[in-house]
């Protein structure tokens, strides 16, 4: 039998004594060096995430992970995946501790479990390195949809905005970015572990050339169809305060104060999510009268985030006032934040947790695409959490949005990790849809992002800001906007299915491991 490095070969040799404690441990544990490699791989992925810009650490981390997986049984891949997942999600989800420690633990267990399960899709033979990016694409797709409609924070693609792989976003979205970034790392590992290295090098080069050609051919036409003169207001104020404890009137007053000195000839003024909080309909409120007067004074369309509270529920909407002071458009947030804007199975959680105190009312889900038809033009809207979901941005753009507005509120967070991650998500949506993105937050980050993902203006955290810019308007649709994630998911599924079919006649991972190349002695 040809041996594979440390834990893999040990496990194979000792599976003949299933009743012994040592045999059980050997079947599950992949060896110290591999466990340390998995810890390092997850840590490298974590350090590549916003607010850091070390995009190149993600491919390196995947290269280390791919090396560590070679020749392992499914049990060992499961343990290795859990180890890597823990070092990836542990630090990047630590901000949840400030909200609810038990909630952090539950989310961490779920995310680590998903990462570990993805490792079961991988073929551990060195020549099958390409199943690693396919499995990670499947992982990111699952996290964007499960549980409760998805929780894609952090996302591997969001660490790639300053690297070369982000150029693939108009072609295949964030999943293609994940495939290329992780595929590059896995390919490097495959070159060192596979027997036929020349063939592997030729295959890798061909894939890289085809990918580059596809990205170049699918690059959007940068010719704008018009322009929009916009101002974004950030009122500033204290951070780290839960929404139920915030001074809603003070938030509104700070935004009016920032908006007192607007430039002339504006097309649009954007206020953040939760700029105005009222009981009942906003249309008859005193605050609406103030916004209408502001619109008439400036001659601009004003879009503001509005929270309308009722007895047991509330509505989170983006409302548009025309330059003559009339309300001309409204979009209610469709993708709500679980345990942030509503409590799934509220009756159960009210009996077992104090979590419902932070969310006393459930948000009413909106319907349809986020589109406001205004005198400033058709404006696409994704509210706050929705910016992490490409389907909401695609819906807004395919409905006619020529620019994307992101009214958001990250005032509850004490660190910059979530606000910076949200800016990264907005940049990814800009590249995927070839639309400028205007993001306004009451305490930051407020940002102006061009269709190529470049940030041309960003406020500070906690300070009053008024950002202005003229941004291009686009009407054409990128290939990704037309097709969504389906092509990349189908291709990843084909790669995984092909590998599974090749192993169908084998007797399990023991045979697979025995046919692997020797990694080290």
pLDDT, tens only, 319-339: 999 999 999 999 999 999 998
Average pLDDT over residues 240-265: 89
5: pLDDT strictly greater than 60: no
Cα–Cα distance between 506 and 501 in angstroms, integer?
10
Average pLDDT over residues 131-159: 96
* pLDDT value of position 210: 66
The 3-state DSSP class for residue 381 equals strand
Cα–Cα distance between 144 and 267 in angstroms, integer?
34
Q: Taking a C-beta distance cutoff of 8 angstroms, is the pair 393, 425 a contact?
A: no
Radius of gyration of the chain (CA): 25
Taking alpha carbons only, the member of 271, 220, 265 closest to residue 435 is 220
Cα–Cα distance between 421 and 509 in angstroms, integer?
38
Q: Taking a C-beta distance cutoff of 8 angstroms, is the pair 487, 179 a contact?
A: no
**Strand 371-374 with 377-381, pairing:** antiparallel
* pLDDT value of position 437: 98
Give 175-234 pLDDT, tens digit per residue: 999 999 999 999 988 877 666 656 666 666 666 666 676 666 667 877 889 999 999 999
* pLDDT value of position 347: 79
* pLDDT value of position 378: 98
Q: Can you list the domains of the chain with their CATH numbers?
A: 6-13+32-219+485-514 (no CATH), 226-335+353-477 (3.60.110.10)
Average pLDDT over residues 34-63: 97
pLDDT grade for 3, boundaries at 50, 70 and 90:
very low
* pLDDT value of position 15: 41
Give 343-384 pLDDT, tens digit per residue: 988 877 777 777 777 788 999 999 999 999 999 999 999 999
Cα–Cα distance between 304 and 111 in angstroms, integer?
34
Cα–Cα distance between 353 and 335 in angstroms, integer?
24
- What's the helix, strand, coil split of the chain in %, to 5? 50, 15, 35
Taking alpha carbons only, the member of 384, 252, 232, 404 closest to residue 302 is 232
Q: Output 506 or 128, whichever has higher pLDDT.
A: 128
Average pLDDT over residues 426-452: 97
Cα–Cα distance between 343 and 330 in angstroms, integer?
25
Q: Which two tokens stand for residue 356?
A: 């419902």
Give 401-422 pLDDT, tens digit per residue: 999 999 999 999 999 999 999 9
| Lowest pLDDT segment from 98-102, 319-323, 478-482, 485-489 | 98-102
| % residues pLDDT > 90 (the chain) | 72
514 Cβ neighbours under 8 A, 6+ residues apart? 1, 2, 12
* pLDDT value of position 8: 42
Cα torsion through 249, 255, 258, 260, rounded to 10 = -90
Q: What are the φ and ψ backbone dihedral angles of 438, each rounded to 5 degrees?
A: -115, 115
């Amino acid at each position: 039998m040809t041996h594979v490095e440390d834990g893999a070969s040990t496990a194979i040799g000792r599976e003949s004594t299933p009743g012994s404690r040592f045999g059980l441990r050997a079947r599950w544990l992949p060896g110290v060096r591999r466990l340390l490699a998995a810890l390092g791989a997850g840590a490298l992925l974590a350090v590549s995430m916003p607010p850091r810009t070390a995009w190149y650490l993600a491919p390196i981390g995947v290269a280390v992970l791919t090396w560590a997986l070679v020749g392992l049984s499914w049990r060992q891949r499961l343990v290795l995946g859990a180890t890597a997942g823990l070092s990836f999600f542990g630090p990047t989800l630590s901000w949840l501790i400030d909200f609810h420690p038990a909630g952090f633990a539950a989310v961490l267990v779920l995310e680590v479990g998903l990462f570990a399960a993805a490792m079961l899709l991988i073929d551990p033979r060195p020549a099958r390195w390409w199943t690693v990016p396919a499995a990670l694409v499947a992982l990111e797709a699952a996290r964007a949809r499960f549980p409760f409609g998805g929780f894609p924070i952090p996302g591997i693609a969001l660490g790639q905005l300053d690297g070369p792989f982000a150029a693939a976003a108009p072609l295949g979205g964030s999943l293609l970015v994940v495939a290329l970034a992780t595929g590059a790392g896995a390919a490097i590992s495959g070159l060192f572990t596979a027997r036929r290295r020349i063939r592997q090098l030729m295959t890798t080069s061909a894939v890289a050339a085809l990918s580059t050609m596809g990205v170049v051919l699918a690059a959007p036409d940068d010719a704008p169809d018009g322009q929009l003169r916009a101002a974004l207001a950030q009122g500033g104020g204290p951070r780290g305060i839960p929404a139920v404890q915030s001074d809603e009137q003070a938030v509104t007053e700070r935004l009016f104060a920032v908006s007192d000195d607007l430039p002339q000839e504006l097309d649009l003024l954007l206020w953040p999510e939760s700029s105005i909080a009222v009981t009942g309909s906003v249309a008859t409120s005193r605050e609406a009268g103030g916004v209408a007067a502001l619109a008439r004074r400036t001659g601009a369309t004003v879009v503001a985030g509005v929270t309308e509270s009722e007895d047991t529920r509330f509505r989170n909407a983006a409302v548009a006032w025309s330059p003559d002071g009339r309300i001309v458009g409204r979009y209610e947030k469709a993708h709500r934040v679980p345990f942030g804007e509503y409590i799934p199975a509220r009756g159960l959680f009210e009996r077992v947790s104090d979590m419902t105190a932070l969310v006393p009312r459930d948000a009413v889900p909106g319907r349809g695409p986020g589109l406001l038809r205004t005198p400033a033009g058709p404006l696409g809207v994704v509210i706050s959490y929705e910016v992490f979901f490409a389907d909401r941005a695609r819906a807004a753009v395919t409905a006619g949005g020529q620019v994307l507005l992101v009214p958001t509120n990250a005032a509850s967070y004490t660190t910059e990790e979530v606000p910076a991650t949200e800016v990264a998500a907005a940049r990814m949506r800009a590249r995927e849809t070839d639309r400028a993105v205007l993001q306004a937050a009451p305490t930051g980050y407020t940002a102006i992002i061009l269709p190529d993902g470049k940030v041309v203006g960003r406020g500070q955290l906690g300070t009053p800001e008024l950002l202005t810019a003229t941004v291009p308007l686009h009407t054409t649709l990128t290939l990704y906007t037309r097709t969504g994630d389906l092509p990349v998911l189908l291709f990843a599924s084909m790669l995984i299915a092909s590998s599974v079919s090749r192993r169908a006649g084998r007797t399990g991972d023991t045979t697979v491991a025995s046919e692997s190349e020797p990694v080290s002695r």
